[in-house]
Amino acid sequence: MRRWMWGLVGGLLIATALPAMAQEGSEGAEAFVRGVFAAYIDGEEPAGPMAETRLDEVWTPRMAALIRRDRELSGGDLPYLDADPLCNCQDWERLVVQTVRISGAQPEGRTATVVFTNGGERGTTIVRLRGNPNAGWRIDDVLSPGQPGLAARLAEANGRIEQGD
């Protein structure tokens, strides 16, 4: 009988802790996303999220490799990724983040919807985050409604160039 009671108490403690743990992860994910977009706010273009020096701290290894390969394959021409996918722009002016909404508290990832204004125009970016509150977060994909994510499009474009198409 005592084992049953201890099991029940333990189960209740875990059940009440899960929402708090999910919130903690969402807060860390939101802080990460806001930190990524801070480079736009501060106007420090060389340190933007697409800068070579920041690829590994912003993007997952998979995405960083796809971005680097795209740049290598361009051979001096415009790469497939010729605009910044996070602000969907080539330049930014007075980029201000309005909201960051974190959803989908899976163990290894979240989705962040970022609403911002850039030069007075409203924009929205949806990113898939991978990681966790302890190890940190990285962007694993940029999503667009009705089309494949950026990772799939980059992989396809890189593959076409590698095959000589």
- In terms of average pLDDT, the best of 17-26, 50-59, 88-97 is 50-59
Q: What's the CATH code, domain 2-162? A: 3.10.450
* Token pair of 147 as six digits: 């089309």
Rounded Cα gap, residues 157 and 81, in angstroms: 9
Question: Does position 23 have pLDDT exceeding 80, yes or no?
Answer: no
Phi, psi of 110 (to 5 degrees): -145, 170
- pLDDT over 90, % of the chain: 48
* Token pair of 18 as six digits: 């899960």
pLDDT at residue 11 in the model: 38
In eight-state DSSP terms, residue 84 is B
> Once rounded to an integer, what is the mean pLDDT over residues 114-138?
92
* Better pLDDT: 17 or 62: 62
| DSSP structure string for 102-159 | EEEEETTEEEEEEEEEETTEEEEEEEEEEEETTTEEEEEEEEBTTB--HHHHHHHHHH
> Once rounded to an integer, what is the mean pLDDT over residues 107-123?
90
pLDDT at residue 4 in the model: 38
pLDDT at residue 100 in the model: 97
pLDDT at residue 18 in the model: 38
> Once rounded to an integer, what is the mean pLDDT over residues 64-71?
96
Write down the pTM of the prediction.
0.79
* Token pair of 130 as six digits: 């991978």
Cross-strand bridge partners of residue 113: 101, 126
For the chain, the structural domain boundaries read 2-162
The pLDDT confidence band at residue 70, using thresholds 50, 70 and 90, is very high
Q: Average pLDDT, whole number, for the chain?
A: 82
Upper half-sphere CA count for residue 79 (Cβ side, 13 Å): 20
- pLDDT over 70, % of the chain: 79
pLDDT at residue 107 in the model: 67
